[in-house]
Amino acid sequence: MKVNTRPERSKMIKPLFYRSLSLLLVAPAILLLMALTLGLTGISDRILVSMAEQTLQEVKKSLATQIHDPSALEAAIELRKEEIYSSYGLDKPWFYRMFQMIIRIATFDLGRTRVIKSFTGSQEVSEIILERIPNTILLVTIPLIFSAIAGISMGVKIASRPGTLLDRLTSYLSIISYTLPSWWIGIILIILFGFYLKIFPVSGMYSIPPPSDTFSRILDLIWHSILPFTTLVIVQIGGWIYSARMIVLNIAQEDYVNAARAKGLPEDIVRRRYILRVAAPPIVTNIVLGLSGSLGGAIITETIFGWYGMGSLYYQAIMTLEENLLIALTYIYTLIYISARIILEIMYLALDPRVRY
Amino acid sequence: MSFVRELVKKAWESWSTRIGIIFLAILIILSILVVLTYPIDFGTRIWSNPSYWADSPRLAPPIWASFFTMAKIPTHTAFKLTQPTNIQVEENLILMEYSVETNYGYDDYPSFLHVLIKNVTFYSTKPPRIEVWISRPDNLIVRLTSFTIRGPSPIEEPPYHRYVESPYRIILTQDSTSILNLIYSLNKKYNSNITLDEVSIIGSEKLFFGYPSKLREKEFSILRGSYRLYVKIYVYEGLGSVGEVDFILGGKTYGLLGTDIIGRDLMMGLLYGFPASLMIGFLASVLVTSIGTLLGVLSGYIGGRTDTVIQRSSDIVLNMPLLPILIFFTFIFREFGMRFLLIILVLTAFSWPGLTIIIRPMVMQIKSSQFIEAAISCGASRIWIMRKHILPNLAPFIIAQSIFLVPSAILAEAALSFLGLGDPTLPTWGQILEQGFRSGAIYLGYWWWVIPPGILIVFTAITFLLITIGLEPILNPKLKTVI
C-alpha cells in the first residue's frame, strides 16, 4: 500500500477555512452580544429618549414664540414629538434599530458620536478612532516590542543553564513582574519621578503649551512617554522571560536533543538547530498575539498617564455611554485580534510541517 | 482522595510551593481574623460612612513616616473620660468638671481639636449649661465657648436624654466663638493685633498651641509645655449625668498606615481587603473551573454535535477582548446591586473557554484507554464513567489550573475597581487605590494611600503563582526541572 506522506493541499485548506470561519464569527458575535445587552436592559432606549427629549425641548421653545394659542401649541408639539421620536427610530422596537446598527457597523459605517469629539472637532466615530490609533501604537506597541525582544533573549539565555543562581533569580523576578499591575507601577513611577524628583511629567502627551517646532515637539513627546514606556516594560518583560524560558526548557528536555548531544554535536549547533528552531513558532505566536492584543489592553495605562489613545477613548466612551463609539471600538479590537489569529493559522501551516488538523 | 495527597506531596517538594503555602496560610489567618472581628456591614456602615470618620485626621501619613524627618510630629490622641474629674455640689447646682492634662512637646501643630459630649441626662426643665476651657503653659486661661443644651419640649417627660444617637461635637479649631475668645486673650497678652480674617491664613490650630512670636509678620511659634483642657457642666435643680466627654487632638500622623481624604484608617480598609480578595478569587476560580471542566469533559467524551457546538462557542468566547468586555458588562449591569457577584459572574462568563479547550483532548485520550472500554463492557453508564474514571484522572490538573485562576481573578477585580466599577459595599484594595488616584494622591504625594494596596494585590497574586510553579510538573509532566 502506498503511504502518502504529504497530505493533499485540499485536506489542509478545508480545515483552515473552517477554523478561519469560526474565528471570523467572533466579530458578529460580539456585535450581537453588545447590541442585545444594550437593547434588553433598555439602556439604548433610554439614551435615545433623552436625546429626543432634548431636541423636543428646543423645538418647544421655538414653537412657543410662534404659536400663542395654548391648545394649538399643544397640538403642534404633539405632532413634532412624534416626528422627532420616529426620526430617532423610537417608533419601532429596539431590536429593529439594533439590527440596523449591527449591519451598519459590520460594514464599517461607524456613525457619529453624541458628545465626544475628535481633536479637530469632528463627531465621526471613524475619524475619532483613526486619530487615536497612532497614539496607542506609540504608547503600547513600542514597549511591547522592546520587552519582547529583551525578554525572549534573556529567557533563552537563562534556559540554557537551568537551576543556576542567575536562572532562579531571573525566574522569581519575572514572576513578580508578571503579577505587577501596570497601573500600580505607573502610580509609583509618577509619585517617585514626577512628584518627588520632578524629572518627568506626571500626565499627558505634550507640555502645555506644546512646543512650536516639530523637533522639540518630538522631544517633548519622548520626554512624556518615558514613564509609561518604563511602566509597560517593567510589567511585561517578566512574562516574556518566563514564557521563552519555559518553551526552550521544554524542548531542551526532549529525547532528540539528548540524542543530538550524544552524537557529539557541538552545544552551539544543538542550541541553534535543535532547540531554538523548534522554539521559534510558539514564541512568534506569543509575539503576534501580544501585538494584536496590546491595542485593546491599554485602557488603564492610558487613563493613568492621561494619554489620548484608544484605551482611554474606550473608557471615556463607556463612562458617557457613547453607544456607537463603544461598539465600534470593541468591534475594531476584535477585528485586529482575529485577523492576527488567522494570519497565525496560515503561518503555522506554512512553517511547521507537523501541524495538521 | 489519593490524588490530592499525591498532589500535595509532589508540590511540597518544590521550594516555591512551600513559600507559597506559607504565604497563603498568612492570608487565610488574617482573613479569618478580619471576618471574626469586623461587623458584617463594615462596608456600608463604617467604611463608606463619612460621619464615622469625623474625628480622625485627614490625609495623615503613618506614624513611622516621621522617623525619616527627625522632627517630632504630633500623633493622634483621643482622651475619653467617662467619669468627671471633679464634682462640686452647691445649692440647686451640680458642677461636673472633665479635665485632661497633656504635655505638648511636638515640633508641629496638631491638625484639629475636637470636644465630644455623649449621652447627657437631666431632670429639671432648666437644661444643663456647658463650658469649654483651655489653660496654656503661658498661664493664659480662656473660656473658649459655652452653650446651653436644648431644653425639654412641652410633651417631653423627665428624664430628658440628649446626644444619645450621635455625640455633640464641637470642632474647636473651626468654632468662631472659640477662635474669637482666643484671639482676644492672645492680643491682650502678647500685644498683638490678630483679626478673625487673618485666622484662615495663619491657621486656627496655631492659635491654640502657639503664640505670636514675631508680631509684625503675624508669625507663630509652637508653645510647648503643659496644657489643660476642661469642660464644665452645670446641672441645675437635681440630678443629671453625662455619659462621656472626649477630647480629640488630631494628629499629623495616624496609625500604622495613615488615613485618606475623609479620615478613614487605611489599615482597617486594607485588612478588610484580605477576605474580600480571597473570596472574589476563590469564587471566580471555582466557577470558572467547574464550568470549564464540565464543558471540556462533555465535549471530549460525548463528541459529535455537542463537541462541535462547545468547541465553536469556546473558540468564539476565547477570542473576545476580555478587558473591554468585562468593563462593558460590569458598567451596564452595575445598577442591579451586588456588584462583586456581578464582577465574578462576568469574569466567569468570559474566562471558561481556556480550560474547556485544554481539557477536551485530555478527556479524549483517557476515553480511548482500555480501562474505559472495560468499564463500558461491564455496563457502566456515561455519567458513572465521567465521574469515576475521567474526573479523578483529570483532578490534579484541574486543581493546579484552578489555583492559577485565583490571581487572575484578583487582578481582574482590582483592575475593574480601579476604573471605578467596584462594589462600594465591599471595599477592596483596588477600590482604595482608585479613590487615591481619583483624589489626586499621586500628584500630591500621598504615597501611603496608593502604595500599600498595590503591594497587597501583588503579594496575594504572587502567593498563588508560587504555589502553581511547584505544580508545573503536574501540568506539564515532561518537564523535569522548573525552578
Dihedral sign, Cα of residue A268, residue A272, residue A278, residue A280: positive
Is B68 in the A-facing interface, judged by CB distances under 8 Å?
no
> What is the structure's pLDDT at A167?
86
| Cβ neighbours of A327 (radius 10 Å) | 26
Return the residue in B68, B404, B458 with the most chain A beta carbons within 10 A, the one to mutate for interface testing.
Answer: B458
Q: For residue A187, which residues of chain B lie inside 8 Å, CB to CB?
A: 433, 437, 442, 450-451, 454
Q: For residue B466, which residues of chain A lie inside 8 Å, CB to CB?
A: 175
Alpha helices in B352-390 (DSSP H): 353-367, 370-377, 382-385
Would you say residue B3 has pLDDT above 70?
Answer: no
Q: For residue A202, which residues of chain B lie inside 8 Å, CB to CB?
A: 442-443
pLDDT in tens, A275-293: 888 888 888 888 888 887 7
Q: What share of chain A is helix, strand, coil (3-state, %, to 5)?
A: 75, 0, 25
Domain at A125-356: CATH architecture: Orthogonal Bundle (1.10)
Would you say residue B338 has pLDDT above 70?
Answer: yes
> What is the structure's pLDDT at A357?
44
Return the residue in A165, A184, A235, A343 with the most chain B beta carbons within 10 A, the one to mutate for interface testing.
Answer: A184
> What is the structure's pLDDT at A1?
41
CATH 1.10.3720.10 is the classification of domain B2-50+265-482: yes
| Cβ contacts of A247-252, under 8 Å, gap ≥ 24 | A247/A155, A247/A279, A247/A282, A247/A283, A248/A155, A248/A156, A248/A159, A248/A160, A248/A275, A248/A276, A248/A279, A249/A159, A249/A162, A249/B479, A249/B481, A250/B476, A250/B478, A250/B479, A251/A275, A251/A278, A251/A279, A252/A159, A252/A160, A252/A162
Which of A29, A203, A326 has its CB closest to that of B328?
Answer: A326
Distance from CA of B354 to the nearest CA of A (A): 15
Distance from CA of A350 to the nearest CA of B (A): 22
> What is the structure's pLDDT at B483?
47
Is the pTM of the predicted complex or chain greater than 0.95? no
Domain boundaries of chain B, sorted by first residue: 2-50+265-482, 75-250
Would you say residue B166 has pLDDT above 80?
Answer: yes
Would you say residue B123 has pLDDT above 90?
Answer: no
Q: Which residue of chain B is at minimal alpha-carbon distance from A250?
A: B479
Query: CA-to-CA distance for B43 and B74, rounded, in angstroms?
Result: 29
The tens place of each residue's pLDDT in chain A, 357 residues long, gives: 444 445 555 566 777 787 788 888 888 899 999 989 888 888 888 888 888 888 888 888 888 888 778 888 888 888 888 888 888 777 888 888 888 888 888 888 888 888 888 888 888 888 998 998 889 888 888 999 999 999 999 998 888 787 788 888 888 888 888 888 888 999 999 999 988 898 888 888 888 788 888 888 889 999 999 999 999 999 999 989 988 988 888 888 888 888 988 888 888 888 888 888 888 888 888 888 888 777 665 788 888 898 988 889 998 898 888 888 888 988 988 888 888 888 888 877 776 655 544
The answer to whether B479 contacts A249, with C-beta atoms less than 8 Å apart, is yes
Return the residue in A19, A47, A179 with the most chain B beta carbons within 10 A, the one to mutate for interface testing.
Answer: A179
Q: For residue B316, which residues of chain A lie inside 8 Å, CB to CB?
A: 22, 25-26, 29
Cis peptide before A209 (omega within 30 of 0): yes
Give the residue carrying C-alpha cell 537563562: A158
Return the residue in B309, B314, B319 with the most chain A beta carbons within 10 A, the one to mutate for interface testing.
Answer: B319
**ipTM topping 0.90:** no
Query: CA-to-CA distance for B402 and B294, rounded, in angstroms?
Result: 13
Contact B245, B43 (CB under 8 A): no
Q: For residue A313, which residues of chain B lie inside 8 Å, CB to CB?
A: none
> What is the structure's pLDDT at A2?
44
Which of B321, B331, B415 has its CB closest to that of A181?
Answer: B415
> What is the structure's pLDDT at A11?
63
Is B442 in the A-facing interface, judged by CB distances under 8 Å?
yes
pLDDT in tens, B402-447: 998 999 999 999 999 998 898 888 889 999 999 999 888 888 889 9
> What is the structure's pLDDT at A293?
73
Cα distances (angstroms) measured from residue A164 to each of A158, A351, B86, B189, B481 = 8, 34, 74, 75, 11
Size of interface A-B (CB pairs under 8 A): 135
The answer to whether B458 contacts A162, with C-beta atoms less than 8 Å apart, is no
Distance from CA of A216 to the nearest CA of B (A): 25
Q: Helices (H), strands (E): how many in chain A?
A: 16, 0
Would you say residue B187 has pLDDT above 60?
Answer: yes
The answer to whether A180 contacts B315, with C-beta atoms less than 8 Å apart, is no
Q: Which residue of chain B is at minimal alpha-carbon distance from A165?
A: B483
Q: For residue B414, which residues of chain A lie inside 8 Å, CB to CB?
A: 181
Query: CA-to-CA distance for A191 and B384, rounded, in angstroms?
Result: 59
> What is the structure's pLDDT at A255?
86
Where b means 16+ CB within 10 Å and e means fewer, B264-293 reads bbbbbbbbbbbbbbbbbbbbbbbbbbebbb
Rama region for B439: left / alpha / beta (φ>0; ψ in -120 to 50; rest):
alpha
Would you say residue B134 has pLDDT above 90?
Answer: yes
The answer to whether B450 contacts A187, with C-beta atoms less than 8 Å apart, is yes
Residue B459's pLDDT band (cuts 50, 70, 90): very high
Q: Is B379 exposed, middle or buried (0-12, 13-18, 19+ CB in 10 A)?
A: exposed
* DSSP 8-state symbol, B73: P
Q: Which residue of chain A is at minimal alpha-carbon distance from B15?
A: A168
The answer to whether A175 contacts B333, with C-beta atoms less than 8 Å apart, is no
Q: Phi and psi dihedrals of B100, rounded to 5?
A: -130, 145
